[in-house]
Structure 1
């Protein structure tokens, strides 16, 4: 993909302007280690906004512990043109999410699972979700893409979520597209 930014130092949040993927992964590991008995959701999602001369895409990574907070970061990609075709934009959002998910190799996922696994009988859990900024309601123009994008998330082995349950894409990432 011609527009993808270099991944090595391309993540940021409110406290860190430039993080490598390895630093992001270590933040997630440390967050889970604080309470290995927690119920965790590792969530990915991308949103976009068409601007005057470019289209901004923001991919969010969120590790959430039910009732105990979250840690999050984003990755920004700017495409130097207005992407007005809805299918192209939704498909590219999904591709960017897939790209970030792919950084979580089997070994990395297993490392996270290994932290909570000894506590599974104490209520701990770990799931991975892909939040897609589309909806299935009649009024939503993106409804015709739901099956395609949901299938793409499922093919990665992650649980797809669409509106109104796709808050990482439709709320968190959306805040940074403006």
Structure 2
């Protein structure tokens, strides 16, 4: 018998504090059920900031309905040391994104897909994206990690996005790392 680790995380946004994953999932379901004809993107992304005595990681979960808004929340993780090694930090950001994504079981993903499924012929859609706070331009120090982190997202069946398209990591999560 395998020993499965129970994921016990808390999430928050501007109006709700200390949400369980079940509450997060319920909010996403509610948001999508308001418009079953919507074009939805379920997006995960993590960013970090090194502070004096710790490193703060913020993972964002965003359900976006094209041209109709979004619902979002974050999960905060504090590592009690300065993580100066860039590869270690980017790798841990990706791990935290993978960890939150893994909470969406096949059954939960199916529940979300079933909301839009009857309306695909009307333009409804549902995609899952993993936003990684790295870029491929020659000026970007993280470019050497692009293949590794993109491969990790793809191996989970998540559509990877990097800068400038990784706004959940590089913009939304980033604002809470300060």
**Normalised TM-score (structure 2):** 0.96
Q: Alpha-carbon deviation of 1:69? A: 0.1
Aligned to 2:15: 15
In the alignment, what sits opposite 1:162? 162
Alpha-carbon shift at residue 7 of structure 1 (Å): 4.7
What do you get for the CA RMSD once the two structures are aligned?
Answer: 0.9
- Mapped contact 2:154–2:160 kept (Cα < 8 A): yes
Instruction: Say if 1:7 and 1:20, in contact at 8 Å, map to a contact too.
Output: no
SS for the counterpart of 1:126 is strand
The reply on whether 1:40 has 2:25 as its aligned counterpart is: no
Give 1:9 shift.
Answer: 4.8
Per-residue deviation, 1:17: 1.1
Give the Cα separation in 1 of the matches to 2:123 and 2:70.
18
In structure 1, how many angstroms separate the alpha carbons of the residues matched to 2:54 and 2:9? 22
Where structure 1 has 5 or more consecutive residues not aligned to the other structure, the ranges are 1-5
Quote how far apart the aligned CAs of 1:8 are: 3.0
Whole-Å separation in 1 of the counterparts to 2:162 and 2:10 = 26
Counterpart CA distance in 1 for 2:8 and 2:38 is 29
In structure 2, what is the Cα distance between the partners aligned to 1:156 and 1:105? 12
Task: Give the structure 1 partner of residue 118 of structure 2.
Answer: 118
In structure 2, C-alpha distance between the alignment counterparts of 1:10 and 1:29, rounded to whole Å: 18
Q: Contact (CA 8 Å) 1:94, 1:149: kept in 2 or not?
A: yes
Give unpaired runs (5+ residues) of structure 2.
1-5
Q: CA-to-partner distance for each residue in 1:54-84, whole Å, 9 max, x for gaps?
A: 0000000000000000000000000000000
> 1:133-172 residue pairs with structure 2 within 5 A?
133-172=133-172
1:28-78 C-alpha deviation (Å, 9 max, x unpaired): 000000000000000000000000000000000000000000000000000
Quick one: distance in 2 between partners of 1:161 and 1:64? 15
